[in-house]
Amino acid sequence: MRTGSLGNGRLLINLDSKGNIIDLYYPHVGMENQSNGRGVEFSIYVDGTVLRPDAFTSTTRYLNSSMIFETILNGKEVTVTFQDFVDPDEPIFYRIISINSEAKKEASIYFINKIALYGNDIGDTAFYEPKSKSIIHYKSKRYVAFKLIGQEDGGVSFTIGKGDAESDINDDKLEGYPIAQGRDVTSIIGYKMKLSPTKPSKAYYAIGFGRNLDDVRNLVSKVDRTNIEASFARTYLLWSNWLRLCRIVEVPEELKELLSVSLFVIRSHLGNNGSLIASSDYSFVKLYGDGYFYCWPRDAAYAAHALDIAGYGDLALRIYRFLASLPTQGGALYHKYNSDGTLASSWHPWYMGSREILPIQEDETALTVWALATHFDLYRDLDDVTELYKSFVRPAMKFMISYTEDGLPKPSFDLWEERYGIHLFTVATVYGALTAGSELAESVGDRGLAVDARDVAKQMKERVKSRMTAEDRLVRRLDEAGNKDLTVDSSLYASFFFGLFSPREPLVVNTMEVVEEKLKVGGGIIRYENDLYQRRKQAPNPWIITTLWLSEHKSALGDKDGAMSYIKWAANHRTPSYMLPEQVDPETGESVSVTPLVWSHAELIIALKSLL
């Protein structure tokens, strides 16, 4: 679990609840974790004892609605405050350290830098660089520099080693070894300070990133106390002003902080090239050998739509441009992508049942078209959208029109990435893409495609009524044999959200009533009946996004109290620093799976906008 995320489009830093710096993504947001999940830990030597992070209790928060993250650590001897931020323009992370003590004493603070460049720790070198007074780790085209500055000159020490190098801290004296290379290279940098009960003692820590030695050395050479304090003020003002641009107003007081953090999470996970990763939580790698640090077009489209309705259309357009640039299969987007736009890992086969298939989830293509067309409807920025229409929307719409059989989309994988068939969620998103896309097509003068799209969408709606209903409700899937899958699934909400049916249509109302009746667990909504993914208890885990889907239907019906109750359930299952997980434990309410999940935060924004 990650407690805080900080980023500027070139750099993404994650923190845990004790202020340890866990993930360092550079130069692509989400693609290369230069710590491989090991990161930077701290220790404090005071009164002959080494205090490690577990010796402290902690509180965390984003500081006064800015993308500055504050961690307050309370121990028996001292209280430590970290104020962490990423410079808005440069690939550099700063930490302002304040230490209070009830009595006069001396103490040392140490940072243990465990770096694994390119995500592996083989062949790294670390050395002390005297001109910039920093420790630089490097391999090939990745350079990471660490610098510690005291409130007064002097008192800074260092050592570089391998394996158990941090045992050097135990006697409060670093040996000063200037270089090490190979595997498991660790550097330590420390500062001795005098503590006073009258005012806090301060120090400053910086981590700079570059692609060559000169760049990173020049970057950290300029780092001093004055520049760090100036960057702090600039960062604070930038993000405070950025939040004021939000168009979602009249938000209940108890939800304002969650809305702010949701916007920060999306922004920190967004690369300058427009890639948007699902989550930067690297913890899954140790369990499954892979993670959520990829760009799923579906997650990115939801997040872009959330930015659009919140008033950040320029950032949403950056995402659409990235999605439009990705390699496709005849206009259809693949499963997921790396942050540099290359194909990412996938478990969808190209060959199944003795025949060739497309390894896609068609809803991802449809959602991207729908979100972009909705963006245009909100902002009417024809000049910006026309090129995207030509390069992506038109080929994608032609694909969706052609990839049909008997009036419905041909089989593909579902949004949960588990089943193959014709899924109601996919049909609804394709319908939404073709209807919204037809309006965009008309605006750019492509009337022929607009007419074809509307005709196909109309036929899909008729086929859903005749083929995808049972017991006066919608069914989630037709399998390859055409059999109806009667499993109750929360994703059936798509039937109204993307305009396939009115939210008051009896078919939809009956469906959502069954969803609420069958899938409500611990006050939230599980994905579908007997869901086994990440299951820990007898009952499946409720998800944030699925719970908010029910809120959105309540809002569409005018049931504001019912809608708010589900939004508050999601808000009550945030972390103390207002991060939203993917799932929660059905009994304890603890976060399960990755935290934060960008989609959860995007859905919170969408649900709030639907309500207000």
Give pLDDT tens digits for 298-351.
Answer: 999 999 999 999 999 999 999 999 999 999 999 999 999 999 999 999 999 999
User: Can you tell me whether residue 471 is helix, strand or coil?
Assistant: coil
Stretch 361-385: mean pLDDT: 97
Pair of tokens at residue 256: 């304002």
Stretch 142-171: mean pLDDT: 89
Q: What is the pLDDT of residue 126?
A: 97
Residue located via tokens 């859903």:
464
Q: What is the pLDDT of residue 580?
A: 98
Asked if 543 contacts 527 with a C-beta cutoff of 8 angstroms, the reply is yes
What number of residues does the chain have?
612
Indicate the helix (H) or strand (E) that contains 368.
helix 362-379
Confidence of residue 74 (pLDDT cuts 50, 70, 90): very high
Q: Which of 45-54, 579-588, 595-604 has the lowest mean pLDDT?
A: 45-54
At 102, the amino acid letter reads E
Burial 24-54 (b: 16+ CB within 10 A, else e): bbbbbbbbbbbbbbbbbbbbbbbeeebbbbe
For the chain, what percent of residues have pLDDT higher than 90? 93
C-alpha distance across the termini of the chain, in Å: 31
Stretch 191-208: mean pLDDT: 93
Pair of tokens at residue 224: 């001093």
Dihedral angle, C-alpha 568, 569, 573, 574, nearest 10 °: -30
Confidence of residue 493 (pLDDT cuts 50, 70, 90): very high
Q: Alpha-carbon distance 584 to 590, whole Å?
A: 5
Pair of tokens at residue 611: 């309500």
Q: Alpha-carbon distance 599 to 277, whole Å?
A: 10
Which of 63-67, 138-142, 161-165 is predicted most confidently? Answer: 138-142
Q: Alpha-carbon distance 65 to 262, whole Å?
A: 11
Write the burial class of residue 310 (CB in 10 Å: 0-12 exposed, 13-18 middle, 19+ buried).
buried
Stretch 245-257: mean pLDDT: 95
pLDDT of 287 over the 80 cut = no
Asked if 427 contacts 478 with a C-beta cutoff of 8 angstroms, the reply is no
Specify the pairing of strand 179-183 against strand 185-195. unpaired
Stretch 351-371: mean pLDDT: 96
Q: What is the pLDDT of residue 164?
A: 75
pLDDT of 154 over the 90 cut = no
Nearest by Cα to 191 from 149, 229, 230:
149
User: Can you tell me whether residue 173 is helix, strand or coil?
Assistant: coil
Q: Does 152 or 123 have the greater pLDDT score?
A: 123
Write the burial class of residue 246 (CB in 10 Å: 0-12 exposed, 13-18 middle, 19+ buried).
middle
Predicted TM-score (pTM) of the model is: 0.97
pLDDT of 166 over the 90 cut = no
Asked if 13 contacts 93 with a C-beta cutoff of 8 angstroms, the reply is yes
* DSSP state for residue 392 in the 8-state scheme: I
Q: How many CB atoms lie within 10 A of CB 450?
A: 21
Stretch 198-222: mean pLDDT: 96
Write the burial class of residue 287 (CB in 10 Å: 0-12 exposed, 13-18 middle, 19+ buried).
exposed
pLDDT of 144 over the 80 cut = yes
Stretch 91-108: mean pLDDT: 94
